[in-house]
Amino acid sequence: MPEPTYGEMEQREPTSEVDLRQLIQSFKSLRILDLHAANIKNVPRSICELKHLTYLDFSHNNALKRLPNSITRLQNLQTLNIYSCFALEELPRGIRKLVNLRNLDINECWKLSYVPHGLGQLSSLHRLTRFILPKVKALAKNYCRLGELNGLNNIGGSLTIENLGHVANAIEESKAANLIGKHSLESLELRWVYLDTEDAVIGDRDEALLDGLMPHSNLQNLKINGYKGKSFPRWLMDSLVFSLPNLVEVHLQQCGRCKYLPQLGQLPHLKSLSIWGLDELEYFEPDHSFITTPFPGLLRLQIGYCQNLKAMPLTPHLEELMLSKVNLELINQIFGLNKLKSLDISEMDFLECLPEKCFQSLTSLEDLSISCHRSTSLSLGMQHLTNLLNVSFWYCEELNLSKDESDNILDLQGLKSLRFVDLVDIPKLASLPQWVLQVSNLKSLRIYRYLNSKDLPEQIEALQSLQ
C-alpha cells in the first residue's frame, strides 16, 4: 500500500490497547497482522498469544515508543516491519529468541540509539536495514558490537552501519564484521558520528576501521559518510575494477580530510556519483591516462561543498548534473553535454549570471533549477534551451527578471516547450515576466512570497493550458 501522508495519519482515530487485546483474543490463528499507520501508542503483552504469526507490520506508527518483550515469544515470526516509527526508542532485548526472523526493517526509526546484544544469533536473517552502534559506553552490556555481524552472511538488500566513530578496537572489530562474506548485500552505507571531533587519533583509527570493512565484490551501491581518515583504504584506491567491479552508485559525504578520490573512472557500470563536503579535495583523479574512456557509463553527478575542486568529469552520456557551493571554475566547464536533461546549480555566492557558452550545447535539457543569492539576470544562453520543460528560480535575492526584457538582451521565444515555472522567494519580482505569459502550453505556475494576486497582469488569461 502507498505510504500515508502526515495529514492522513493525524486524522485517523487512535487504536486503543483495549481494541488490540480484543483483536488478539478473537483471532488467535492469525498468520499475518498488518497494523501500519494505525496510530498505535502501546502494544499489549498478549501479542505473544498469536503464536502462528509469521508477518507483523507496525510501520508508520509515530507514537509507538517500544515493543513489549513478550513479542520475542513469537517463534514463527519471519517479518517484523517497524519502518518509520519515529518515536521508537529500543528493540526488545530478547530479540535473539526470534530464531525464524528473516526480515527486520528499522529504517527511519530516528530515536533508536542501538540494536540489542544477541542480534547476531538470528542466523535466518535475510534483511537487516540498519545496524546501530551506541554512542554511550554505559550501554556496553546490552548492545551489539560489530562482531555480531560476523555470521549474518545471508543478509541482502541494503544495510547501514551507524556510529562507527565509537568503535573501540578498530582492527579487531572491523575484521570480525566479515562484510566480505556477505555476498548478497547490494547496498552498504558506512556512517561515522563523533561526540569529540578533536581526538588526535581519530584519523588513524578511521583508516584502520575502513580498511577492515571491505565488502564483497557483488556490492552495487556504496556510501561513506563522515569518515575522518586522510586517505581511503587499499581496496578502494588500488584497483576498484577488481575489488568492487559491480558498483553502480557511489556516495562520498563529509570526508573532510581526504585530498584524493579512488579511481572511480575505471568502473564500467558506475551510473551515479555524489561527492559532498570534501573540503580538502583538489583533484578528481590524479591519473587516469591508462583508461581509454573514464566514467564510460556515468549518468548522474552531484558535487557540493568542494570549493577546492578545480575540475570534474564531464562524460558525453551525463544526464543529470547538480553543483552546489563549488569553485566557479566548475561552472565554466559545463559545455558539450548534449545529453544532459537536468541541471541544478545552487549556493554559488559569486555567480551573477551563467555564461552563455554553458547552455549552447545543452540541446536536450528539460529541467533547470537555479538557487544563487547573487544572480542578477538570466543567461543569454537560455534562448538555446528549446526542449526545456521545467524551470525553477529559488532564493535569488538579486535576480531582476524584468531588467532583461526592458534591455531587449534576451530572446526567450524558443521557450515555448515550457510546462512548469517556479519563481520562489525572488524579492525583485515586481511583475510577472512577459516571457512567461508567452508560453501558451504552460501547465503550472508557482509564485511564492513576493508577488500579490493583484499584481498579476490581465494577459495571464491567455495561459489556457494552465492547470
Q: Give the separation between CA 450 and CA 466, rounded to whole angstroms.
A: 21
Residues 66-73, mean pLDDT to the nearest whole number: 96
pLDDT of residue 196: 56
pLDDT at 405 over 60: no
Q: With a threshold of 0.85, does the pTM exceed it?
A: yes
Residue 407 has pLDDT above 80, yes or no: no
Contact 151, 122 (CB under 8 A): no
Q: Please, are residues 179 and 221 in contact by the beta-carbon 8 Å criterion?
A: no
Amino acid at 442: L
Query: Which cell numbers hold the place of 312?
Result: 570534474
Q: Is 467 exposed, middle or buried (0-12, 13-18, 19+ CB in 10 A)?
A: exposed
Question: What are 445's strand-pairing partners?
Answer: 421
Q: State how beta strands 444-448 and 420-424 pair.
A: parallel
- What dihedral do alpha carbons 368, 372, 376, 380 form, nearest 10°? -30
pLDDT at 162 over 70: yes
Single out the residue of 257, 177, 272 nearest to residue 216, CA to CA: 177
Q: What is the mean pLDDT of residues 57-84?
A: 96
User: CB neighbours of 40 closer than 8 A, spacing ≥ 6?
Assistant: 14, 15, 20, 58, 61, 63, 64
pLDDT band for position 408 (50/70/90)?
very low
Range ranked top by mean pLDDT from 190-194, 195-199, 225-229, 437-441: 225-229
Continuous segment of H or E residues that includes residue 104: strand 103-105
Strand ranges, E, within 395-451: 420-424, 444-448
Name the pLDDT band for 409 (thresholds 50, 70, 90).
very low
Q: Tell me, what's the pLDDT at 74?
A: 97
- The answer, yes or no, to whether residue 138 has pLDDT greater than 70, is no
Q: Which residues of 402-434 are buried (b: 16+ CB within 10 A; e: fewer)?
A: eebbeeeebebeebeebbbbbbbebeebeebbe
Indicate if the pLDDT at residue 224 is higher than 70.
Answer: yes
Whether the CB-CB separation of 396 and 418 falls below 8 Å is answered with: no
Beta strands in 121-234 (DSSP E): 127-128, 130-132, 157-162, 185-191, 221-225
Tell me what percent of the residues of the chain surpass a pLDDT of 90: 63
Q: CA nearest 286: which of 306, 261, 319, 320?
A: 261
Conformation bin of residue 286: beta by default, left when phi > 0, alpha when psi is -120 to 50: alpha
**Lowest-confidence pick of 73-82, 132-141, 261-270, 291-300:** 132-141
Q: What is the pLDDT of residues 323-334, one digit of tens each?
A: 999 999 999 888
Stretch 273-283: mean pLDDT, rounded?
A: 93
Write phi, then psi, for 75 (nearest 5 degrees): -65, -20
CB 322 within 8 A of CB 301: yes
Amino acid symbol at 122: L
Report the candidate in 343, 348, 371, 347 with the shortest Cα–Cα distance to residue 358: 343
Backbone angles phi, psi at 218, to 5 degrees: -80, -10
Instruction: Name the strand (E) or helix (H) holding 322.
Output: strand 320-326
* pLDDT per position as a tens digit, 32-53: 999 999 999 999 999 999 999 9
pLDDT in tens, 298-357: 999 999 999 999 989 878 899 999 999 999 999 988 888 999 999 999 999 888 888 888
Residue for grid cell 488467535 = 28
Check residue 368 and give its pLDDT.
95
**pLDDT recorded at residue 141:** 63
Of the listed ranges 80-89, 126-135, 365-374, 392-401, the one predicted with least confidence: 392-401
Can you read off the three cell numbers belonging to residue 384?
Answer: 538555446
Element (H, E) at 206: helix 202-212
Is residue 1 scored above 50 in pLDDT?
yes
User: What is the mean pLDDT of the segment spanning 436-456?
Assistant: 83
Does pLDDT of 414 surpass 70? no
pLDDT class for 438, splitting at 50, 70, 90? confident
| CA torsion through residues 183, 184, 187, 192, sign | negative
**Which residue matches cell numbers 568542494?**
306
- Which residues are within 8 A (CB) of 461 and not within 5 positions of it... i.e. 6 or more apart? none
Q: What are 224's strand-pairing partners?
A: 190, 252
Distances from the Cα of 385 to the Cα of 263, 365, 378, 389, 467, angstroms: 34, 7, 13, 9, 23
**8 Å CB contact between 338 and 315:** no
